[in-house]
Amino acid sequence: MFTGIVQGVGTVLARHTTGGGTVLTLAPNFTLDEPQEGESIAVDGVCLTARAISPDRFSADVSPETLQRSSLGQLRTGSRVNLERALRLADRLGGHLVSGHVDCMGRVLKRQNLGDFTLFTFSMDARLGRYVVEKGSVAISGVSLTVNSCAEASFSVSIIPHTLRETTLGLLAVGDAVNIEVDIIGKYVEKLLGGRLSQPAGQVLDSAFLARHGFM
């Protein structure tokens, strides 16, 4: 698990194809203290398993599925990515719970400067719209952000100067692809409730309905 609080930016040193997938070699702009073979590192929001890891670089295998569902398939030598090492139980949860399992790719629809802040509007798969709520959390290329406003197939976020400087979000332009992971809690709640909230025609979802079904 991750928090969406990016620790630094990495640069792709090499990329080569193997067994239908890809091996990426990356160099972070920070030191990987106590590196462990097989540890999880989020690369632009995608959880990858690090191998041949040292304090200044690591390699990771990327499966065909991940290449298809995320922007990692577009990376080239010299590309820059956001990096976050896995959460420790004693760490501060400064962002929100991020699994590193990308739900879809989105694109930058609009970038607007508002004083010191930057307002981004991103497209997303309309099927995920129900999981993105105003003032809720969403991960964009591994960065935990708060949703300003949302529609069925798009949403906007306001990004502070620090985040623009310390992550790759500052490099984004209209049309660029990003990895989107919606808040996992919403998906779990939906599955756990299952059909319990299904309503007959004309049934109103109000406090009386919730009380009858044990939610109040």
Distances (CA, A) of 30 to 24, 55, 163, 178: 18, 8, 16, 23
Give the three-state DSSP class for 197: helix
Can you tell me the distance from the alpha carbon of 153 to that of 28, in angstroms, rounded to the nearest whole number?
33
Same domain, 123 and 187: yes
Q: Which CATH number goes with the domain that contains 184?
A: 2.40.30.20
* pLDDT string in tens for the chain (216-residue length): 999 999 999 999 999 998 889 999 999 999 999 999 999 999 999 999 999 999 999 999 999 999 999 999 999 999 999 999 999 888 888 999 999 999 999 999 999 999 999 999 999 999 999 999 999 999 999 999 999 999 999 999 999 999 999 999 999 999 999 999 999 988 888 888 875 555 555 556 566 766 776 766
Can you tell me the distance from the alpha carbon of 87 to that of 83, in angstroms, rounded to the nearest whole number?
12
Same domain, 120 and 162: yes
**pTM of structure:** 0.87
Which residue range(s) make up the domain with 131? 104-191
CB atoms within 10 A of CB 104: 17
What angle (nearest 5°) sits at the alpha carbon of residue 101, between those of residues 99 and 106? Answer: 120
